[in-house]
Amino acid sequence: MAADTQTSTANALPPPRTEVGVIGWMHANLFSSRLNSALTVVSGALALVILWYGMRWVFWSADWTVVERVGGLFLIGSYNTELACPGQNCFWRPQVSLLLVTALLGMIWGILGGGVAKRIAILTAVVAALFAFLPYSLERMGWDVRILLLANLPSTAIGWAVARYTPLGQPRWVVAWGVVVFLITLVLQRGLPNVPGLQPVSVVYWGGLTLNLILAVGGISLSLPIGIALALGRRSNLPMVKLLCVVFIEVFRGVPLITLLFMSQTLVPLAFPEDFPQNSLFRAAVVITLFSSAYMAENIRGGLQALHPGQAEAARALGLPGWQTTMLISLPQAIRNVIPAIVGQFIALFKDTSLVYIIGMVDIVEIGRVFISRPEYLPSAREMFVFLAVVFWVFCYAMSYVSRHIERNLGVGER
């Protein structure tokens, strides 16, 4: 018996080369049949042609000087102009806000211990620091601006150290710090009366990518809890609560966002006292949040309806009251199941922030459109919109990238 075993082991042959390694992967995925082989060849040739002409235009034919000329307007609009900040330098305010954000990302990295959080924190800090080496003159980009940009690297390290070696390295403190960072950003951008160096800046001068991010972060942070409340209200047994939630959801889902933004000039003031301070940014934020909440409610409701009734029955059999069954059993599973839909709604909300131009706000897309409307920049329209498309793609892909890692860690789609 031992001799037979040794003989069979000695006669064992290695697997065919077509089934292992790179060749095996190509055979299984690209050339497994005649049809797949033909599709692989055609698709590869088409991709090479597109890549060749695309790269040739990007590196040889395109004129990217228009992006350099616009410069910081893409980031903060006309926030730092003499008209917006007479007699003062306001550029340090968004830079300090960026330092707070990189510190927050460092804390998230310290809590999660690496992975996607580490990559995003380091990449954000490195990209921000690289802006300090732009070949601008000191009149256009002084040493103070460059130093603040380089400070994003130690800011990330400080946030990581705080999360690892202090009692603040807990998720609840990071959430609280995130809220504080957002509020500090709003205060810095708006300013405070009678405070030296923080003279108020009207929201009319807010613009660029900063405006898109403020609206997106505020809308994302508020639309999720509001959407959850609306979804639970629509499933409520109280007829009046259910009716109000249904009317709200169907009205906001049935009206285009552009129409709601136009209506915000008269609609939003009706919901607040007459002496309540309002401006175009506040109105846009309210409308975008409510519009996204209606869609978010339907996503959450779909996740709740997808749960097996046995989940709630088992919770009731254990003696859990209704609110504990919802908050501890049904809702966490529902949110877990609809993470792709939730992130898709967040991405759509971020892209919808570019519609605020119709109420007079100058976001990053509107800045590009205004510049290419000038005769001297009109030939560079393609370069301008390709650059804007890349900017939006980077942020949207980052949200999708984080979503995929969350789904993988939670085992979404696995049983």
pLDDT, averaged per 10 consecutive residues of the chain (415 residues), comes to 55 70 80 88 94 89 84 83 80 90 92 85 92 76 86 94 87 89 91 83 88 93 94 90 94 91 80 75 90 94 88 84 84 89 93 90 89 84 90 93 85 63
Domain assignment present for 16: no
Q: Based on the domain organization, do 53 and 193 belong to the same domain?
A: no
Instruction: Check if the beta carbon of residue 189 is closer than 8 Å to that of residue 204.
Output: no
Residue 156 is predicted with a pLDDT of: 94
pTM value surpassing 0.85: yes
Backbone angles phi, psi at 207, to 5 degrees: -175, -170
Domain assignment present for 338: yes
218-223 contact pairs (CB < 8 A, 24+): 218/182, 218/285, 218/289, 219/285, 219/288, 219/289, 219/292, 219/349, 219/353, 220/292, 220/346, 220/349, 220/350, 221/182, 222/289, 222/293, 223/289, 223/292, 223/293, 223/296, 223/345, 223/349
User: How far is Cα 371 from Cα 93, in angstroms, rounded to an integer?
Assistant: 25
Domain assignment present for 325: yes
Instruction: Check if the beta carbon of residue 365 is closer than 8 Å to that of residue 357.
Output: yes
Instruction: Check if the beta carbon of residue 198 is closer than 8 Å to that of residue 192.
Output: yes
Nearest-5° Cα angle at 306, 304 to 308 = 95
Distance of CA 138 to the CA centre of its chain: 33
Residue 17 is predicted with a pLDDT of: 67
Q: Based on the domain organization, do 51 and 163 belong to the same domain?
A: no
Q: Based on the domain organization, do 165 and 45 belong to the same domain?
A: no
Domain assignment present for 15: no
Residue 22 is predicted with a pLDDT of: 79
Q: Based on the domain organization, do 107 and 33 belong to the same domain?
A: no
Instruction: Check if the beta carbon of residue 152 is closer than 8 Å to that of residue 128.
Output: yes
Q: Based on the domain organization, do 107 and 52 belong to the same domain?
A: no
Q: Based on the domain organization, do 92 and 29 belong to the same domain?
A: no
Domain assignment present for 18: no
Helices (H), 235-372: 239-254, 257-267, 280-305, 309-317, 322-324, 331-337, 339-352, 364-372
Question: Of the residues 43, 61, 79, which one is the last residue of a structural domain?
Answer: 61
Residue 199 is predicted with a pLDDT of: 86
CATH number where 289 lies = 1.10.3720.10
Q: Based on the domain organization, do 43 and 182 belong to the same domain?
A: no
Domain assignment present for 198: yes
User: How far is Cα 268 from Cα 262, in angstroms, rounded to an integer?
Assistant: 11
Q: Based on the domain organization, do 268 and 309 belong to the same domain?
A: yes
Residue 7 is predicted with a pLDDT of: 55
Number of domains the chain contains: 2
Q: What are the residues facing 207 on neighbouring strands?
A: 362
Residues with Cβ within 8 Å of residue 221, at least 6 apart in sequence: 182
Q: Is 411 left (phi over 0), alpha (psi -120 to 50) or beta?
A: left
How many CA atoms does the CB half-sphere of 415 hold within 13 Å?
0
Q: Based on the domain organization, do 47 and 80 belong to the same domain?
A: no
With 0-12 / 13-18 / 19 or more C-beta atoms within 10 angstroms meaning exposed / middle / buried, residue 282 is middle
Question: Of the residues 14, 37, 61, which one is the last residue of a structural domain?
Answer: 61
Domain assignment present for 9: no
Q: Based on the domain organization, do 238 and 270 belong to the same domain?
A: yes
User: How far is Cα 128 from Cα 122, in angstroms, rounded to an integer?
Assistant: 10
Instruction: Check if the beta carbon of residue 243 is closer than 8 Å to that of residue 269.
Output: no
User: How far is Cα 252 from Cα 254, in angstroms, rounded to an integer?
Assistant: 5
Whole domain around residue 170: which residue ranges?
A: 69-410
Residues with Cβ within 8 Å of residue 345, at least 6 apart in sequence: 223, 292, 295, 296, 299
Residue 5 is predicted with a pLDDT of: 55
Residue 2 is predicted with a pLDDT of: 54
Q: Based on the domain organization, do 199 and 102 belong to the same domain?
A: yes
Residue 341 is predicted with a pLDDT of: 92
User: How far is Cα 310 from Cα 307, in angstroms, rounded to an integer?
Assistant: 8
For 26, 35, 36, 164, 266, the CA distances from 20, given in Å and listed in that order, are 10, 22, 19, 43, 67
Domain assignment present for 14: no
Instruction: Check if the beta carbon of residue 290 is closer than 8 Å to that of residue 255.
Output: no
User: How far is Cα 134 from Cα 288, in angstroms, rounded to an integer?
Assistant: 35
Q: Based on the domain organization, do 49 and 75 belong to the same domain?
A: no
